[in-house]
Structure 1
Amino acid sequence: MDTAHETTELLDTKLLRLLDLLYSTGSVTRAAELLGQSQPTVSIWLAKLREALHDPLFVRTPAGMQATPRAQALIEPTRQALAALRQISEWQPDFNPATAQRKFRICMTDASHITLLPQLLAHVRAAAPQVALEATRIDADTARLLTAGEADLAVGLIPDLETGFYQQTLFEQQWVCLANARHPRIGKTLTLKQYQAEAHAAIASGTGSGLLAAALKRQQIERKVILEIPGFLGLPAILSTTDLIATLPRQIGETLAKVTGLAVHTCPVPIPGFTVKQHWHARYHHDPANRWLRGVCSALFLQNK
């Protein structure tokens, strides 16, 4: 034989507040004043409360409204419930970088390790001394890491991040060429003829390298690539000791040149620029710690300050 199960209806918050105030004041009139309601309205609420709890709850005596044993048993859980509701309503999450103890994980390219990470680390160490940073690569797993909260931000050119992600442009990137400052055949200006004649070192991976290769192909310009490397870290030593040239984004190019004394040339081939953005998942859009980190990145790198 089937048994029907009735669904218990939760009490309205205003009824819980009425129970608490009647217990404290012993007066319908005073409870109405504290609730900002008329006495007839509060009387209606009390009738609903009695019906819901199957008990008179309060009875009129010369000393005022006195609680029944049922009301006495309910007052403590009622006050606990109200306190919990107030805590939820008043809760305003905050992130104090000066005292926070946590690690931020940021997906970025190896170029960003050289150009962005040192500035970001210096700021974080000054503003949030107990916060640690972890840099991890951008790859096919980046979207999952951001969605799961296993990474906080992704910084770079990441066109595959779409639905469910926010993004903010930090700066525009153009292209330059690097060469040995004492290159035997290149003076102050790198010409298109020299660009096609000289030997090149090329970065073999990354979205930016794909954009470069596609632009050269569209313009039917061929490079004599004799060395391919996976990233930028070994490039300065190679260019400083050979006559190779390299085409790379302006920010990483100028940073490497400043450190190693390489020559920076305007790229003689019109390569379309691209935007470097920071990306985060919608789940963490209002998270205080994530908002703080995003604010730091935008302050440091917005429009390539």
Structure 2
Amino acid sequence: MEFDLNLLPVALAIYEERSVSRAAQKLGMSQPTVSVALNKLRVALGDPLFVRTSHGMEPTPRAASLITPTKDILQRINAEVLSSTAFDPAVTTRKFTFALSDIGEMTILPKLMERFGAEAPFASVSSLNLPPEEISAALESGEIDLAIGYFPDLKHRNFFQQRLFSHSFICLLNASHPLKQNRISMKEFLKLGHAVIKAEGRSQELVEQLLEKKKIQRRIVLSTPHYMTIPFIIASTELIVTVPYAVGESFAKLTNIRLVEPPLEIPHFDLKQHWHRRFNKDGPNMWLRSIIVELFGE
């Protein structure tokens, strides 16, 4: 017969109070409920456990032998299961893992690492560039803590999301390019050779879908899965490329590149942080989300 561990607090309360009624009051239970629990204990252990005397309910030797292990069990449950220890970033050695595209790494990681150095100096960060179809399983398993970026597929009820900021798109040209206007015409856009990025991230799809919908066919000279090669290529050729604005702004600060408005309105998109509901109340995950929204939320 399985023993009901829920009966142990009743035995401990009666032992300490030497009274069923006072034990019931201490436990916040009715006296009949405590009496029923005591009877269950007696049947389960084959011993009267507590005997009424002139000094109250005195324990039998069998009951007395229960008290020390019962206290140990209840203390461990309170300390290891029921207590909520606050997460302290200053001492944690935890590794935090993100799903980030290389765009995300450029816009997120520099500020984030600076913040980690100040608040969580012993923690580490890992960035994974996963295919979109693998991100949901990685969030669910805890392989990654947060997915930050444009992930329109993460809409299942098991996922939470929080908007950080909105992105637009911009075109990049060599700073010495013969075209000098701040907005390129559709005629010139179609005339120029294009570099096209086909990365794991989903944001670039918005540009491709819009051009396909409007039946706009560019002259594609270069197709690459990597953003990081783009500034060097654009700076040394007369190609044009269309990228998220924050990426273009970063590239323009680093090398011989200038920003040019595209010839058509491209839809904005929201960058969000996503996490699985398993970790919604997890202390480290909650701290991490608060840092992200503080640094990058509009």
- Per the alignment, residue 258 of structure 2 pairs with 263
Matched, 1:237 2:232: yes
TM-score by length of 2: 0.88
Return closer, same or farther for 1:123/1:40 CA change in 2, 3 Å cut-off.
closer
Answer whether contact 2:183 2:262 (CA < 8 A) is retained. Answer: no
1:181 aligns with 2:175: yes
Within 5 A, what are the aligned runs for 1:272-291?
A: 272-291=267-286
| Corresponding letter in the other structure for 1:20 | L
1:193 has 2:199 as partner = no
1:92 Cα deviation from its structure 2 partner:
0.7
Letter in 2 for 1:8: E
Q: Does 1:172 align with 2:166?
A: yes
Determine the C-alpha separation between the residues in 2 that align with 1:39 and 1:263.
Answer: 81
Assess if the C-alpha contact under 8 Å between 1:110 and 1:232 holds in 2: yes
Task: For residues 69-114 of structure 1, give each alpha carbon's deviation from its aligned partner in whole angstroms, at most 9, with x where no partner exists.
Answer: 2212222222223323433664114311111101111111111121
2:252 corresponds to which letter in structure 1? A
Q: 2:30, 2:137 → 1: CA distance?
A: 55
Contact 1:138–1:154, Cα closer than 8 Å, also in 2? no
Name the counterpart of 1:79: 71
Letter in 2 for 1:281: H
**DSSP-derived class of the 1:169 partner:** strand
- Identity between Structure 1 and Structure 2 (%): 39
The aligned amino acid for 2:152 is P
CA distance in 1, matches of 2:122, 2:34: 53
Q: Which amino acid aligns with 1:67?
A: P
User: What are the within-5 Å matches in structure 2 for residues 115-264 of structure 1?
Assistant: 115-139=107-131, 140-163=133-156, 164-206=158-200, 207-264=202-259
Q: What corresponds to 1:294 in structure 2?
A: 289
Give the letter aligned to residue 100 of structure 1. Answer: T
Aligned residue among 23, 45, 50 for 1:53: 45
| Letter of the structure 1 residue corresponding to residue 154 of structure 2 | L
Structure 2: tracts of 5 or more residues without a match: none
Of 101, 112, 133, the match for 1:109: 101
**Cα separation, 2, equivalents of 1:293 and 1:95:** 11
Residue from 16, 19, 23 that aligns with 1:24: 16
Structure 2: distance between partners of 1:149 and 1:38: 43
CA distance in structure 2 between the partners assigned to 1:218 and 1:229 by the alignment: 22
More displaced, 131-140 or 261-270? 261-270
8 Å CA contact 1:178–1:246 kept in 2: the answer is yes
Shifted more, 294-303 versus 186-195: the winner is 186-195
CA displacement 1:190-222 (0-9 Å, x = unmatched)? 222221122221113342232211211211222
Aligned length: 295
Q: How far does the alpha carbon of each residue in 1:148-182 deviate from its partner, in whole angstroms, 9 at most, with x for none? A: 11111111112222322222221111111111122
> Could you say which structure has the larger radius of gyration?
1
Given the superposition, is the C-alpha separation of residues 174 and 66 from structure 1 closer, same or farther in structure 2, using an over 3 Å criterion? same
Equivalents in 2 of 1:41, 1:151: separation in Å? 47
SS in 2 for 1:79: helix
Kindly state the Cα deviation for residue 186 of structure 1 after the two structures are TM-superposed. 3.0
Give me the whole-angstrom Cα distance separating, in 2, the residues matched to 1:9 and 1:87.
22
Larger mean Cα displacement after TM superposition, 53-62 or 291-300: 53-62
SS at 1:202 equivalent: strand
Q: For 1:142 and 1:165, locate their aligned partners in 2 and report how far apart those are by CA, in whole Å.
A: 11
Judging changes above 3 Å, is the alpha-carbon distance between structure 1 residues 150 and 33 closer, same or farther for their aligned structure 2 residues? closer
TM score, norm. by length of structure 1 = 0.86
Query: Contact (CA 8 Å) 2:182, 2:259: kept in 1 or not?
Result: no
Distance (whole Å) between structure 1 residues aligned to residue 123 and residue 117 of structure 2 = 7
Deviation of 1:9 after TM superposition, in Å, equals 5.2
Shift of 1:135: 0.9
- Residues 240 and 35 (structure 1 numbering): CA distance in 2 closer, same or farther, change over 3 Å? closer
